[in-house]
Amino acid sequence: MDLKNLTIRKFHQGLITKEFSAVEAVTEFFNAIDVEDKKINAYLSLDKDGALKQARKIDLAISKGEDLDLIAGAPMAIKDNILIKDLPATAASKILENYKAVYDATVIKKLKNSKAVFLGKTNMDEFAMGSSTENSAFKITKNPYDLERVPGGTSGGSAASVSADMAIGALGTDTGGSIRQPASFCGVVGMKPTYGAVSRFGVIATVSSLDQVGPITKTVEDAGIIFNTIKGKDNFDSTSFNAQYNELLNPDFNRIKKLKIGLPKEYFIDGTDEYTKKEIQKAIDKFKNLGFEIKEISLPHTKYALAAYYIIVFAEVSANMARYDGIRYSRLDSLKEHTNKLWDIYFKQKGGGFGFESQRRIILGTHVLSSGYYDAYYDKAQRIRRLLKEDFDNAFKEIDIILTPVSPTPAFKIGEKSNDPMQMYLSDIFTISLNMVTLPGISIPVRKFEKGKELPVGFQLIGKAFREEDILGLGQYYEKN
Rounded Cα distance, 100 and 331, in Å: 12
| CA atoms within a 13 Å half-sphere pointing along the CA-CB vector of 75 | 35
**474 contacts: CB under 8 Å, gap ≥ 6:** 256, 259, 401, 461
**355 contacts: CB under 8 Å, gap ≥ 6:** 93, 94, 126, 135, 137
Beta strands 441-445; 189-192: pairing state: antiparallel
What pLDDT score does 348 carry?
73
Q: Where are the beta strands (DSSP E) in 74-168?
A: 75-79, 117-122
Rounded Cα distance, 134 and 185, in Å: 14
Rounded Cα distance, 342 and 469, in Å: 52
What pLDDT score does 84 carry?
98
Give the H/E segment covering residue 212: strand 212-217
> Is the bond preceding 154 in cis, omega lying within 30 degrees of 0?
yes
Cβ atoms of 119 and 30 within 8 Å: the answer is yes
Rounded Cα distance, 147 and 84, in Å: 29
Phi, psi of 438 (to 5 degrees): 70, 20
Cβ atoms of 215 and 245 within 8 Å: the answer is no
pLDDT-flagged residues of the chain (< 70): 1, 330-341
What pLDDT score does 32 carry?
97
Beta strands 189-192; 169-174: pairing state: unpaired
Rounded Cα distance, 481 and 478, in Å: 5
Q: How does DSSP classify residue 429?
A: T
Phi, psi of 213 (to 5 degrees): -90, 140
Exposed / middle / buried, residue 257 (Cβ in 10 Å: 0-12, 13-18, 19+): middle
Rounded Cα distance, 67 and 41, in Å: 36
User: 3-254 falls under which CATH superfamily?
Assistant: Amidase signature (AS) domain (3.90.1300.10)
Describe the crossing of helices 8-16 and 220-230 by its angle, rounded to 10 degrees.
80
What pLDDT score does 352 carry?
78
DSSP-based three-state secondary structure for 331: coil
CA distances from 119 to 187, 217, 248 (A): 21, 15, 26
Q: How many CB atoms lie within 10 A of CB 102?
A: 9
What pLDDT score does 326 carry?
72
